[in-house]
Amino acid sequence: MSRADEAAPAAFHGQKKDAVDIVGRALFCFNDPHIYSGCQDSLRLGPQGALNVPPASTDAFCGGACLEETELVLRCVDGVMDNFRFYNGASVGDVRQALGRGCGRTGLRGDFDVLQRVGYGDGYFYGGGSRRPVSLVGSLMMMLTAILLRG
């Protein structure tokens, strides 16, 4: 076995550890007590990518701590991992688009559907690009979430 062949597994092992660390840091953004402190738990964005804001809670969400704290979570996640995908396949941009629509002053106010399809050319794409299948990073995120929730 050549030195290159011996070095490759070691280099790959380091990348796996780095990926786990990066995903772990991104997931911490959702539970960071310095970020989420005033928003009601049921209205918080989590790694699943859904914004579960009932129509009756729109004004409280958009006018209170929840909107600001959700933006902080998105900045945190985006700062750790610029191509972050939520479990549902949405990007940070998709969530921001849903926040703008849901908190806007149009007829779409209260619509926080992160995966709402937007017509684009001949096909349909989510706001931030085509939906991608669950990747290695997505799988790692799900495993880390399970581990963090148990511990």
pLDDT tens-digit map of 9-25 = 444 444 455 778 888 88
Instruction: Count the domains in the chain.
Output: 1
Residue 8 lies in a domain: no
Residue 25 lies in a domain: yes
For residue range 109-150, list pLDDT tens digits in order: 999 999 875 433 333 344 444 444 444 455 555 555 555 555
In order of 17, 35, 78, 96, 116, the CA distances from 127 in angstroms are: 31, 25, 16, 9, 8
Residue 46 has pLDDT above 90, yes or no: yes
β-strands 123-125, 118-120 pairing: antiparallel
Residue 4 lies in a domain: no
Q: Are 44 and 36 contacting, i.e. CB atoms less than 8 angstroms apart? A: yes
Cα 92 to Cα 79: distance, rounded to the nearest angstrom: 11
The boundaries of the domain holding residue 108 are 20-150
pTM assigned to the model: 0.68
Q: Are 40 and 66 contacting, i.e. CB atoms less than 8 angstroms apart? A: yes
Q: What is the model's pLDDT at position 115?
A: 86
Residue 138 lies in a domain: yes
Residue 109 lies in a domain: yes
CB neighbourhood size of 137 (10 A): 17
Residue 60 has pLDDT above 90, yes or no: yes
Residue 86 lies in a domain: yes
